[in-house]
Structure 1
Amino acid sequence: MTNPDLSHLSAPGTEIALRVTPKASRNAVKQEKGGLRVYVTTVPEGGKANAAVVKLLAKAVGVPKTRLRLVRGQTSRDKVFIVLD
Structure 2
Amino acid sequence: MATWLHRTPTGVRLAIRLNPNAARNDLGPLERRADGSWHLKARVTTAPEGGRANAALMKLLAKTFRLPVSKISVASGATNRNKQIDIEGDPEALHTLFNNWIKDRFP
Unaligned runs of 5+ in 2: 1-6, 33-38, 90-107
Task: Tell me the secondary structure at the aligned position of residue 49 of structure 1.
Answer: helix
Measured on the aligned residues, the alpha-carbon RMSD in Å equals 1.6
Percent identical: 39
Find the partner of 1:55 among 53, 59, 70.
59
Higher helix share: 2
Q: CA deviation at 1:59?
A: 1.9
TM-score (norm 1): 0.79
Aligned residue number for residue 79 of structure 1: 83
- In the alignment of these two chains, the number of paired residues is 75
TM-score (norm 2): 0.64
Matched, 1:64 2:62: no
Where do 4+ consecutive residues of structure 1 move more than 6 Å?
none
Unaligned runs of 5+ in 1: 1-8
Q: CA deviation at 1:48?
A: 0.7
